[in-house]
Amino acid sequence: MSANNTGETALERIGYRLSAWVERWMPSPFLFALILSYVV
């Protein structure tokens, strides 16, 4: 048995961390569309 009893695999933990990073540092798609519409 592993020390981590949450039932998450290593791949799931990596996925959660990656999605949290993307949600924090990438702009929302709506904001991105507004900015590009203004530029064009």
pLDDT at 2: 55
Question: What digits encode the pLDDT tens for the residues 1-40?
Answer: 455 567 789 999 999 999 999 888 887 888 888 889 999 8
Burial of 12-27, coded b for 16+ CB within 10 Å and e otherwise, reads eeeeeeeeeeeeeeee
Residue 19: domain span: 10-39
Domains identified in the chain, total number: 1
Residue count of the chain:
40
